[in-house]
Structure 1
């Protein structure tokens, strides 16, 4: 009799646990819908973070960058004009290669000016990438101008 009561108690407890642990289909659908909603929310936040990372420069930041870069470009123009003046004052024929190099550097400087003037500071453009690339180009042009007068022939 004790075994029968014990077995009956165990079966009753197991049945009760099974019934309470099983969710009806409507609850399962609600849980799935909540998961979809939370995933959509997470996706929206991720897109917002991407847009912030890809943000346009603030007006002040853009103006400061533009002024600094234009100053460097004008400095390069002055160096180019100085090189052209040295060539004219040298009184001797300068290699055509030197003249072509000066012309190439001058064209690169003009291209940089066009590039900064045509940049659209909006959300669709990648400000950090543009800034890094333009700074690199301006620095390389400055190095070219410095190294132009160095004579590596020995």
Structure 2
């Protein structure tokens, strides 16, 4: 008799646990829809963060490009005031620096979205290119004082 009561109790407990733990299909669908909405929300937030990062980086690079354009204008003015040999040297430097500055401007304006890893590589490359160009300006300026 004790054995039957223990067996029946165990069976009742197992059945109750099974029935209360199972979700119906409607609940499963609602949970899946919530998960999809959460994933979409996360994706939208990630894209907004990415766009914000791109815009701030683009602004920073455009400031460097504008500063380079001022330096190029200064070099053009110095070329006008110099001797014939100095004019040739300045004009040659101006053309080379102008081309690199235009290339930098084109790269930042034509960038299209890609993976996070590609974005990091792009930023690193753009920073290096901008820094190298700035060094070229400084080197030219220090050689031709």
TM-score after normalising by structure 2: 0.63
Number of aligned positions between the proteins: 129
- 1:144 maps to 140
- 1:3 maps to 3
How well do the aligned residues superpose, as a CA RMSD in angstroms?
Answer: 4.0
TM-aligned CA deviation for residue 125 of structure 1: 7.8
Q: Distance in 1 between matches of 2:65 and 2:95?
A: 21
Distance 1:112 1:78, change over 3 A: farther
What does 1:2-151 align with in structure 2 at a 5 Å threshold?
2-55=2-55, 57=59, 66=66, 68-81=67-80, 84-85=82-83, 87=85, 102-111=90-99, 115=102, 132=127, 133-134=129-130, 136-147=132-143
Would the aligned equivalents of 1:73 and 1:109 in 2 still touch at CA under 8 Å? yes
Over alpha carbons, which structure has the higher Rg?
A: 1
Q: Distance in 2 between matches of 1:27 and 1:42?
A: 23
Would the aligned equivalents of 1:80 and 1:102 in 2 still touch at CA under 8 Å? yes
TM-score after normalising by structure 1: 0.60
Question: Where does the alignment leave 5 or more consecutive residues of structure 1 unmatched?
Answer: 89-98, 150-154
Larger helix percent:
2
For 2:23, what is the secondary structure of its paired residue?
A: coil
Which protein, 1 or 2, shows the higher relative CO under an 8 Å CA cutoff with sep ≥ 6?
1
Q: Distance in 2 between matches of 1:131 and 1:4?
A: 79
